[in-house]
Structures are given as structure tokens and as C-alpha cells.
């Protein structure tokens, strides 16, 4: 259990190798940890408000964060130096690099007469001039209807997928050479009403052909990343804040829990603060792992699948390493297993 935040976690993220784990919280702090032993490597100080989102590029060179102080900041992972700060009219709720770290997307909140918007910025990756970044976005999608809460580039960075407060999942074309700016209704290629309430998380599966969503409507859904068709539904009895798919085993892990004001002393199994494992294909719940003293706000899977991490309302990050039996179990039953060559 990693203890380094004084308030609830908002997002956690492994780097590509899985040796580092980044965490952001309502205490304005960005932490980085060694994932194998839980030792805190350092902090990135500079934000003056809740840090909502974090992402690290594939080379573990650059870090991006979005905050309630209306700023998006670019950091040098190794030194902790803030390289550049973008200013916005409202809070930055979601940030993400594309595959090669040459672009970053951000979602800003709808507030004070400002519409919510998704912006994509070019990133200057030359270490000699890291501090010189483009102030203007290469494209902006302004949301006229339901505001976006989460977003992601697709497998080839040719599309952007957004999750919305209404439960909608939408797909937009993304061409770096000819970026389009405008209202969401004009640029949207397709959408599906996957959920009935706010989408809290949206993550692509390991092979990028599908995506997982979680929602306040107490469900997680698996969607085709190209058609946005809902393929699987994992229905729980508590609002969900995050969902991840294991890269090598057929399991989906979801986390959430009732908010403190909704929990009563009479409710059965108050709060329901476990990580829940679901069979990805059969849509059946397999296991639960307790540990947090409040709702689970964010989940992240180790790139190798050897572990997963959870961040909770209690301010703790838990890194759970799977036993060897997890990888030798037969999730489809004996009749579906391919026998070993020496049997």
C-alpha cells in the first residue's frame, strides 16, 4: 500500500515498462513510485488545485497533467522540472498522449459561460527546446450537447473516442495533417448511447480493438473500438469509477463504490469498496478483492499483466501482484483448454 497523498486519488498510470507508477490527487500533488516495492521516487510540484488527470509518454521522458487550477502542465519525468504550462478558462479534466508522444489531448470543463471542449496540441519533443511549446491547439472540438468527461486516441491515432456525461460514446476522425475544428455535432462520425449516466472512465483494451467504459449507472461495457457496438456488459450494484482489461487473461476489473453521503448504516455491506473481477467473455463475476476504506476512484493494469493498481477515496494507492495460480487457472474450463505438447 502506497501512502503519499493526503486526499483522494483521481488517476493512476503505469509507464510502458511498468517499473514506474504515477498518481494524482485532490491534494494538488503528482507522485511517482517504484511499482515493485512501493518506494516514492519523487513529486512534481506546481499545481494549485486538484490534479484530475495524468499521462506519461511511451519513452518515460515526458509527463502531462491536467488540473482544477485551469492548467495543463508538461514535466520532465527524470528531473521533475515543469517544462511548459498551458492556461485554460476552466478546469482540465482529462489529458492523454498519442502513441509517439507528438500530440496531447485535453478536455476542459463546461463552466462560467465557457463550453466544454477537447483540444489537441502538438508537442515539441526536442529536449533542447522542450520549454518551447505551441500555445495554440492544432484543433478544438467544442461540445454543444452533453459535455465530454473522458477521451482517448484510438490504436493508430486516426480517431478520438469520447465518453460523455449523458452516457454517450462518440467517435471523431483525427488527421494530424488536416485537423478539423468545430462543433461536436458537425465533426462526429458516429455515437452510441452506451450508458444512462455519466461515463467515468474509458480505456482501450490491450490490442486496441475494443474499449472499456465505466459509468455511474453501475455498469461497465466493452465496445468495439471501430463500430462502437456494445459487445459485453458487466452489471454491478454500485456506481463504477474505473474499468480495466487484463492484457493476457480474459478478465475485466472494475472499481467504484457509493459516495459517502449515499452510504447509510443500514445498507448491506456498506459502500462496497472492492475491486471486482469479471470474466470478459462469459460476463460473470469471478472474484472480489477488498482493501480500500472508501470508493475506488481509479484502476491501472501493469503492462505485463503481473499486477494491477487501485487508487481510492481514502488517499491510498494499492499495488496488487497476482499469484502464479492466476496465470495457470483455466478460465474457460477443461474442455476448452489446449493440452500441453508433452501431455
Which DSSP string do the residues of 318-333 spell out, in sequence order?
Answer: EEEEPPHHHHHS-TT-
Cell of 241: 469509477
- Are residues 150 and 107 in contact, defined by beta-carbon separation less than 8 angstroms? yes
Domains, the chain, in order of start with CATH, read 2-336 (2.130.10.10)
Question: So what's the pLDDT on residue 342?
Answer: 43
Q: What is the DSSP letter of 129?
A: G
Judge whether residue 308 has pLDDT over 80: yes
Q: How confident is the model at residue 1 (pLDDT cuts 50, 70, 90)?
A: confident
**pLDDT value, residue 19:** 97
Report which of residues 1 and 131 the model is more confident about: 131
Tell me, what's the pLDDT at 313?
Answer: 92
pTM for the full predicted model: 0.92
d(CA 302, CA 285): 21
Please report the pLDDT score of residue 337 as a whole number: 53
The average confidence (pLDDT) of the chain is 92
220 against 111, higher pLDDT = 220
Adjacent-strand bridge partners of 63: 56, 75
24-33, 248-257, 305-314, 334-343: least confidently modelled range: 334-343
pLDDT at 269: 47
* pLDDT confidence tier of residue 4, bands split at 50, 70 and 90: confident
> What is the mean predicted confidence (pLDDT) over 129-133?
95
pLDDT at 34 > cutoff 90:
yes
Q: pLDDT (tens digit, 9 = 90+) per residue, 141-172?
A: 999 989 999 999 999 999 999 999 999 999 99
**Which pLDDT belongs to residue 267?**
47
Q: Is it the case that residue 315 has pLDDT exceeding 50?
A: yes
| The pLDDT of residue 172 | 97
Cα 199 to Cα 108, 148, 193, distances in angstroms = 15, 9, 11
pLDDT in tens, 41-59: 999 999 999 999 999 999 9
Instruction: Report the pLDDT value the prediction gives residue 262, as an integer from 0 to 100.
Output: 58
> How far apart are the two ends of the chain, measured CA to CA in Å?
41
Mean pLDDT of 208-224: 97
Predicted local confidence at residue 340, as pLDDT: 47
Give pLDDT, residue 241: 97
Give 341's pLDDT tier (boundaries 50, 70, 90).
Answer: very low
Give the pLDDT of residue 2. Answer: 80
| Residue 231: other Cβ atoms inside 10 A | 13
Q: What is the pLDDT of residues 172-204, one digit of tens each?
A: 999 999 999 999 999 999 999 999 999 999 999
| CA atoms of 314 and 202, how far apart (whole Å) | 23
266 band by pLDDT with thresholds 50, 70 and 90: very low
Give the pLDDT confidence score for residue 234 in this predicted structure: 98
What percentage of residues in the chain have a pLDDT greater than 70? 93
Q: What is the pLDDT of residue 15?
A: 97
Amino acid at each position: 500500500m502506497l501512502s503519499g497523498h493526503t486526499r483522494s486519488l483521481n488517476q493512476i498510470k503505469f509507464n510502458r515498462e511498468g517499473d514506474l507508477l504515477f498518481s494524482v490527487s485532490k491534494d494538488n500533488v503528482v507522485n511517482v513510485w517504484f511499482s515493485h516495492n512501493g518506494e516514492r521516487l519523487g513529486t512534481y510540484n506546481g499545481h494549485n488545485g486538484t490534479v484530475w488527470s495524468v499521462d506519461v509518454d511511451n519513452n518515460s521522458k515526458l509527463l502531462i497533467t491536467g488540473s482544477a487550477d485551469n492548467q495543463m502542465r508538461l514535466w520532465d519525468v527524470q528531473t521533475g522540472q515543469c517544462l511548459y504550462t498551458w492556461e485554460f478558462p476552466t478546469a482540465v479534466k482529462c489529458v492523454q498522449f498519442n502513441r509517439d508522444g507528438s500530440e496531447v489531448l485535453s478536455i476542459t470543463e463546461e463552466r462560467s459561460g465557457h463550453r466544454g471542449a477537447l483540444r489537441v496540441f502538438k508537442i515539441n519533443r526536442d529536449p533542447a527546446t522542450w520549454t518551447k511549446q505551441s500555445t495554440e491547439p492544432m484543433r478544438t472540438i467544442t461540445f454543444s450537447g452533453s459535455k465530454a468527461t473522458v477521451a482517448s486516441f484510438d490504436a493508430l491515432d486516426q480517431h478520438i473516442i469520447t465518453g460523455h456525461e449523458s452516457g454517450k460514446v462518440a467517435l471523431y476522425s483525427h488527421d494530424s495533417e488536416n485537423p478539423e475544428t468545430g462543433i461536436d455535432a458537425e465533426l462526429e462520425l458516429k455515437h452510441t448511447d452506451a450508458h444512462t449516466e455519466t461515463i467515468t472512465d474509458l480505456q482501450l483494451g490491450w490490442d486496441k480493438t475494443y474499449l472499456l467504459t465505466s459509468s455511474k449507472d453501475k455498469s461497465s461495457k466493452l465496445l468495439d473500438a471501430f463500430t462502437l457496438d456494445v459487445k459485453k456488459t458487466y452489471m454491478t450494484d454500485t456506481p463504477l469509477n474505473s474499468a480495466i482489461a487484463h492484457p493476457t487473461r480474459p478478465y475485466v476489473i472494475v472499481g467504484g463504490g457509493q459516495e459517502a453521503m449515499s452510504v447509510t448504516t443500514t445498507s448491506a455491506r456498506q459502500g462496497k469498496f472492492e475491486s471486482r473481477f469479471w470474466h470478459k467473455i462469459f460476463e460473470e463475476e469471478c472474484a472480489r478483492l477488498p482493501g480500500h476504506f472508501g470508493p475506488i476512484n481509479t484502476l491501472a493494469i501493469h503492462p505485463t499483466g503481473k499486477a494491477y493498481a487501485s487508487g481510492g477515496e481514502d488517499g491510498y494507492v494499492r499495488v496488487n501482484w497476482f499469484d502464479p495460480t492466476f496465470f495457470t487457472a483455466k478460465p474457460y474450463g477443461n474442455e476448452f483448454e489446449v493440452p500441453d505438447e508433452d501431455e
